Amino acid sequence: MTLIIQNGIRFQNTGAPGEHEEAEEVVMVVGWVYKTKVHADGSIERRKLDIQNAFLHGTLTDQALRAWFAQLNSWLLDYGFRASQFDASLFVLAHGDLRLYLLVYINDFIITRSQASAIDTFTHDLALAFPVKDFCPLSYFLDLEATINHGMFFSPKSSLTLQAYSDADWAGCPDDRKSTAGYCVFMGHNLVSWSSKKQKTVARSSTKAEYKSVASSAVELIWL
């Protein structure tokens, strides 16, 4: 990975499908809303699978990550999937009433569907082309616990206005008398960023402590 980063200028598009570096501190980069069939309890079946030795599939070049994705992309398109115009890592298979959604992160996949047997059929066909392991209902993805009970919702009429709220105490720490400041940032009605930590320097007044808190909020707003 270090060599890939070092050669990022020499090669074009050396990365595999995934998030940009700037997304490290973002709560949500992109979201999709689909109307799909759910279980009786309201849950949606989602499964995770992993391709073993993904980088060995495809012609090996200096851009091994991209070689793997090109091989996978070609297979998915031949299978009938359509690549999303908005996210290179999202593939959609639409055939009659069947809807199959595949989200790719290098060699880890998330799959959901509109028909119960669709995932089993697809994974069987995929296993004929690539060695598949860890095929199971989705609970964790990229070491993050997945849930359908918590999240953010944006409708076509949702406000995308950013609003920040900040506050700070004054000399609240009994050891060094530093103040604790915090802020939270909302996009519409959704909380997208927050922080609460002790300030690095001692504030001479409550006004200065609150000013530092407001400044931190402003920096976060500008970044978002």
pLDDT surpassing 80 at residue 170? yes
Give the pLDDT mean for 193-201: 94
Q: What is the pLDDT of residues 136-149, one digit of tens each?
A: 666 665 556 666 67
Residues linked to residue 47 through DSSP beta bridges, in sequence order: 111, 137
205: tokens are 């007044």
pLDDT surpassing 70 at residue 188? yes
Is residue 142 domain-shared with residue 192, that is, in the same domain?
A: no
Q: What percent of the chain has pLDDT over 70?
A: 63
**Strand 82-83 relative to strand 90-95, pairing:** antiparallel
- For the chain, the average pLDDT equals 75
pLDDT value of position 202: 96
The helix, strand and coil proportions of the chain, stated in percent and rounded to the nearest 5, come to 25, 30, 45
Residues 127, 128, 131, 134: what is their CA dihedral angle, to the nearest 10 degrees?
A: 10
Please classify residue 40 by burial: count the beta carbons closer than 10 Å to its beta carbon, then call 0-12 exposed, 13-18 middle and 19+ buried. Answer: exposed
**Coil vs helix vs strand at 114:** coil
Is residue 144 domain-shared with residue 62, that is, in the same domain?
A: yes
Q: Measuring CA to CA, which residue among 135, 107, 129 is closest to residue 46?
A: 135
Query: Which CATH number do you get for residue 79?
Result: 3.30.310
Give the structural domain span for 214: 162-223
170: tokens are 């004054």
**Coil vs helix vs strand at 54:** helix
Residue 156: band (very low, low, confident or very high) from pLDDT cuts 50, 70, 90: confident
Residue 49: band (very low, low, confident or very high) from pLDDT cuts 50, 70, 90: low
Number of domains in the chain: 2
* Residue scoring higher pLDDT (159 or 22): 159
Is residue 200 domain-shared with residue 136, that is, in the same domain?
A: no
Is residue 76 domain-shared with residue 120, that is, in the same domain?
A: yes
